[in-house]
Amino acid sequence: MIKRNDICLITGASSGIGKSIAYEMVQRSWLVIAIARSHDKLMELSDILGRDNLIPIVCDVSKFDQVKEVSDYIKNRHLYPTLFFLNAGDGEEENDKGLDFELHQKIFDVNYFGTISWIKEWIDLLKEQNGGSFVATSSIQSFRGMPGVAAYGASKSAINYCFESLDAMYIKDNIRFQLIYPGPVATAMLKSKNSLPFTWKPDKAAKYIVAKVLKGSSKIKFPLFYVLMIGIINCLPNALYLQIFRTK
């Protein structure tokens, strides 16, 4: 049986920001429970970071029965994370045909329900353990509707509202709900055909995220260029916004 005081759980841990957060947390002497769909990538990560530092578990977060089964397995091993990086996400974009109902369902199953299902399984235990933190990866794109990302942006906006509400509800229990709003990060989720300026590498993003999370920041936004840019876009009158961003 592994015993460690500082235990975190990371979903989407096999690649991108999640993988880099796993590296960062192990460097900070945390035991990492790494959750992802890819068995091979998790095994590779476990070999690199060490079996005493990282526990790989295969799980599809969109399958709620799997989330419950994995959570029960972790509890039965007497492992009790106090920090949850709920990072797994689907960034698939709509095609030019317009609204894709099935895509909305698919993305919400991962980005929204695949996040709050972990909260459902662990919130009562965190209350008993006198607190902890859930950290969700949202997006800069969640602040105003952009063409082609209706499903993705809506799922992230839903997480924003949910976490802000839960943060107020559970603060008396010393349970925090923190949000990460990344701009462009050089991962497979970045769909731009052209190189974007001020794009961060995953390891830089992870260092920034972890430092801010451990300091208790509620909302973590980066890079600064895109934070400022989305702030300007949010101030645009709707008629001007539609002129600039309309696709047809």
Give me the chain's average pLDDT, please: 93
Confidence (pLDDT) at 96:
72
* CB within 8 Å of 23: residues ≥ 6 apart: 49, 203, 206
Residue in this structure with the two tokens 């957060």, named with its chain if needed: 21
Contact by Cβ (8 Å): 16, 184:
no
The token pair that represents 218 in the structure block: 């509620």
Q: What is the pLDDT of residues 68-112, one digit of tens each?
A: 999 999 999 999 999 999 999 998 988 777 789 999 999 999 999
The token pair that represents 61 in the structure block: 């977060």
CA atoms within 13 A on the CB side of 31: 15
Q: What is the pLDDT of residues 137-159, one digit of tens each?
A: 999 989 988 888 999 999 999 99
Judged against a pLDDT cut of 80, whether residue 195 lies above it is answered with no
Judged against a pLDDT cut of 60, whether residue 61 lies above it is answered with yes
Question: What angle in degrees, to the nearest 10, is found between the helix axes of 113-128 and 150-170?
Answer: 10
Confidence (pLDDT) at 147:
84
**Rounded to whole angstroms, how far apart are CA atoms 171 and 131?**
9
Least confident of 55-59, 106-110, 201-205, 243-247: 243-247
In this prediction, residues 160-179 reach a mean pLDDT of 98
Confidence (pLDDT) at 191:
60
Band (pLDDT 50/70/90 cuts) for residue 248 is low
The residue among 189 and 208 whose pLDDT is bigger is 208
Residue in this structure with the two tokens 């976490």, named with its chain if needed: 163
The token pair that represents 30 in the structure block: 């945390």
**Rounded to whole angstroms, how far apart are CA atoms 3 and 9?**
15
- Does domain 7-245 fall under CATH 3.40.50.720? My reply is yes
* Strand (E) or helix (H) holding 203: helix 202-214
Other Cβ atoms closer than 10 A to 90: 19
Confidence (pLDDT) at 166:
98
SS3 199: coil
Confidence (pLDDT) at 79:
96
Confidence (pLDDT) at 145:
84
Confidence (pLDDT) at 108:
98
In this prediction, residues 111-124 reach a mean pLDDT of 98
Confidence (pLDDT) at 1:
44
* Strand (E) or helix (H) holding 241: helix 238-245
